[in-house]
Amino acid sequence: MIYVNDFETGKKAIVDRYPELVNSQFKSDNSGWTNFAIKVDNKYLFRFPRNEEAFVAINKEYKILDVLNKKLPINIKVPKYIYSNLNDDYPFVGYEMIQGDFLTEDVFNSLDESKKDNILNNMAIFLNVLHSVDYKELGLEPVNSIEWYKDLFDRVQKICFKYFDHNLKEKTIQLFNMFFNDESMHNYEPTLVHGDLSEDHIIITSDGVGIIDFGDLMVFDPAYDLIWAYICDVDFYNKLFKKYTGHKDNYFEHRIRDFHIIRPPYDGIIYADEIHDNDMINEQIKKLTQNFDKRGE
Whether pLDDT at 75 is above 90 = yes
Q: Give the separation between CA 297 and CA 294, rounded to whole angstroms.
A: 5
Q: CATH 3.30.200.20 residue ranges in the chain? A: 7-96
Model pLDDT for residues 232-280, shown as the tens digit of each residue: 888 999 999 999 999 899 999 999 989 998 988 999 999 999 989 999 9
Q: CATH 3.90.1200.10 residue ranges in the chain? A: 101-295
Q: Which CATH superfamily is domain 7-96 in?
A: Phosphorylase Kinase; domain 1 (3.30.200.20)
Q: Give the separation between CA 270 and CA 207, rounded to whole angstroms.
A: 37
Residue 39: partners with Cβ closer than 8 Å, 6 or more residues away: 26, 27, 28, 29, 45, 46, 97
Q: Give the separation between CA 114 and CA 25, rounded to whole angstroms.
A: 38
CA nearest neighbour of 132 among 238, 244, 242, 230: 244
* Phi–psi pair at 10, nearest 5 degrees: -65, -45
**pLDDT at position 72, please?**
97
Model pLDDT for residues 96-130, shown as the tens digit of each residue: 999 999 998 899 989 999 999 999 999 999 999 99
Residue 4: partners with Cβ closer than 8 Å, 6 or more residues away: 10, 13, 36, 48, 50, 90, 92
Statement: the pTM of the whole predicted model exceeds 0.75:
yes
Residue 284: partners with Cβ closer than 8 Å, 6 or more residues away: 265, 266, 268, 269, 272
Model pLDDT for residues 121-163, shown as the tens digit of each residue: 999 999 999 999 999 999 999 999 999 999 999 999 999 999 9
Whether pLDDT at 211 is above 90 = yes
Whether pLDDT at 297 is above 80 = no
Pick the most confident of 60-64, 114-118, 171-175.
171-175
Question: According to the CATH classification, is domain 101-295 in 3.20.10.10?
Answer: no
CA nearest neighbour of 1 among 59, 82, 40: 59
Whether pLDDT at 231 is above 90 = no
Whether pLDDT at 32 is above 90 = no
Q: How confident is the model at residue 296 (pLDDT cuts 50, 70, 90)?
A: low
